[in-house]
Amino acid sequence: MRVNEIVLRELHMPLAAPFETSLERTERRRIILVESLVDGVSGWAECVAGETPSYSPETTDTAWLILREFLWPLLRDREFSRAAEVWKVLAWVRGHNMAKGALEASIWDAEAKHKNLPLWKLLGGVRQEIASGVSIGIQPSLEELVSAVQVELEAGYQRIKIKIKPGYDLKPVRRLRHEFPQIKLMVDANSAYRLEDWPLLKQLEEFYLMMIEQPLGWDDLYSHVELQKRLETPICLDECIHTEEQARAAILLGACRIINIKLGRVGGYTPARAIHDFCQQNAIPVWCGGMLESGIGRAHNIALSTLPNFILPGDVSASKRYWREDIIEPEVEVSSHGTIRVPEGPGIGYRPRLDRIEALTVRKERFT
């Protein structure tokens, strides 16, 4: 197979509701879609880089630049037999995983479409329904937090994750545990704490959380090792795990007991599957994170979540939680028992709505 052409589009998509973390508040996404023409078949993927470099060093603008100047030239005129061979060519570029991951994933979609197979089957997925949880941003008041959780539980979601930050941690967790003593509850700090804050994090243990996601520095394995020694609650790493090597170090050093895998953060399906396999061999459960994706990125998250060791509910939820109208057909829907049915069609299994994509596009470049 050969990549004949790629088309980059930047879409501006206002979120249905603002999303606030310890890092920032997001009201509108600047999303890059990558469309790769592989032997005449279009494969689609989404670059999950943010508008700012607060979560990871990449942004929408750096990803566009790296795709245009370095990644596309590495693929042009090259022959591949499988999408699984693409990542090692792109690995010449250091870092820039979100840019790489989008390009790689688009070629996987194209390969699956060529073979007339659902992408999840090509990847080695094993389930036709995935378990869905939600990530709830920081709320203006505890009342609003409780009612946001209530809405999601009524919709059927299987676990609730709330964002925390210093000054907004014990109180919201205590309140939610009081209101909902039985639910699967977890928190995500997006690196807002320091190791010295461990006594405060220790106080969260009273509320039997499923896990605490990325409490400390975005690239600081050592401090997570020290924190995990002091906590019974499992630490789940997100930001720290951007390569297979970091996953290995984190697990063997004892920095975490659970890993959140994101396709963009690790640079595509090849490293995502390697991390998945290593975790499975070491009895570390994984789940699929989210990055406020449009339907295209969401469809890839669904395919990834079918791999055998994705045994915890992920942050992959319904299109309507993010967008008044998504850019795929059908939209992603969640059942009343908190699951997403995995599509049977070829590739990602959801059709990109070209009319809507074009209407939201603010920048477009074609490379041949």
For 317-363, the DSSP string reads: --GGGT-SS-SEESPP---TTSEEEPP-SSBTSSEE-HHHHHHHEEE
The beta strand positions in the chain, using DSSP E, are: 3-20, 25-38, 41-47, 129-131, 134-136, 160-163, 185-188, 212-213, 235-237, 258-261, 286-288, 328-329, 339-341, 351-352, 361-367
For residue 145, the minimal CB distance to ligand OSB (Å) is 15
For residue 82, the minimal CB distance to ligand OSB (Å) is 29
* x-or-dash string of contact with Mg ion, 75-114, rule CB under 5 A: ----------------------------------------
Residue 236 binds which one of ligand OSB, Mg ion, none, with CB within 5 to 8 A depending on kind?
none
Residue 169 binds which one of Mg ion, ligand OSB, none, with CB within 5 to 8 A depending on kind?
none
For residue 306, the minimal CB distance to ligand OSB (Å) is 18
Residue 46 binds which one of ligand OSB, Mg ion, none, with CB within 5 to 8 A depending on kind?
none
Stretch of 4-12, 235-243, 342-350, 355-363 lying at the interface with Mg ion (CB under 5 A): 235-243
Question: By CB under 5 A, is residue 315 in contact with Mg ion?
Answer: no
Contacts of 31 (CB under 8 A, 6+ apart): 10, 11, 12, 13, 46, 47, 60, 293, 294, 297
Residue 192 binds which one of ligand OSB, Mg ion, none, with CB within 5 to 8 A depending on kind?
none
Structure token digits, residue 132: 């869905």
Annotated catalytic, 165? Answer: no
Comparing C-alpha atoms, which of 244, 279, 284, 312 is closest to residue 97? Answer: 244
Give the one residue of 58, 169, 238, 244 binding Mg ion; rule: CB under 5 A. 238
Of these residues, 100, 161, 163, 171, which one is catalytic? Answer: 163
C-alpha span between 237 and 88 (Å, rounded): 25
For 94-106, the DSSP string reads: -S-HHHHHHHHHH
Annotated catalytic, 163? Answer: yes
Contacts of 122 (CB under 8 A, 6+ apart): 108, 111, 112, 115
Indicate the residue among 31 and 162 with the shorter CB distance to Mg ion: 162
Contacts of 218 (CB under 8 A, 6+ apart): 55, 56, 191, 239, 240
Indicate the residue among 104 and 213 with the shorter CB distance to Mg ion: 213
Indicate the residue among 111 and 238 with the shorter CB distance to ligand OSB: 238
In degrees and rounded to multiples of 5, residue 317 shows phi and psi of: -125, -175
Residue nearest ligand OSB (C-beta atom): 290
Indicate the residue among 58 and 111 with the shorter CB distance to Mg ion: 58
For residue 23, the minimal CB distance to Mg ion (Å) is 10
Comparing C-alpha atoms, which of 164, 177, 162 is closest to residue 208? Answer: 177
For residue 180, the minimal CB distance to ligand OSB (Å) is 19
For residue 254, the minimal CB distance to Mg ion (Å) is 20
The answer to whether 23 and 286 have CB atoms below 8 angstroms apart is: no
Indicate the residue among 46 and 238 with the shorter CB distance to ligand OSB: 238
For residue 116, the minimal CB distance to ligand OSB (Å) is 30
The DSSP secondary-structure symbol of 84 reads G
Give the one residue of 188, 220, 244, 326 binding Mg ion; rule: CB under 5 A. 188
Contacts of 175 (CB under 8 A, 6+ apart): 142, 145, 146
* x-or-dash string of contact with Mg ion, 147-186, rule CB under 5 A: ----------------------------------------
Which residue ranges make up the site for ligand OSB (CB under 6 A)? Answer: 55, 135, 188, 190, 238, 289-292, 315
Of these residues, 113, 171, 262, 320, which one is catalytic? Answer: 262
Structure token digits, residue 307: 């791999």
Task: Enumerate the active-site residues.
Answer: 163, 262
**Sites of contact with Mg ion (CB under 5 A):** 188, 213, 238
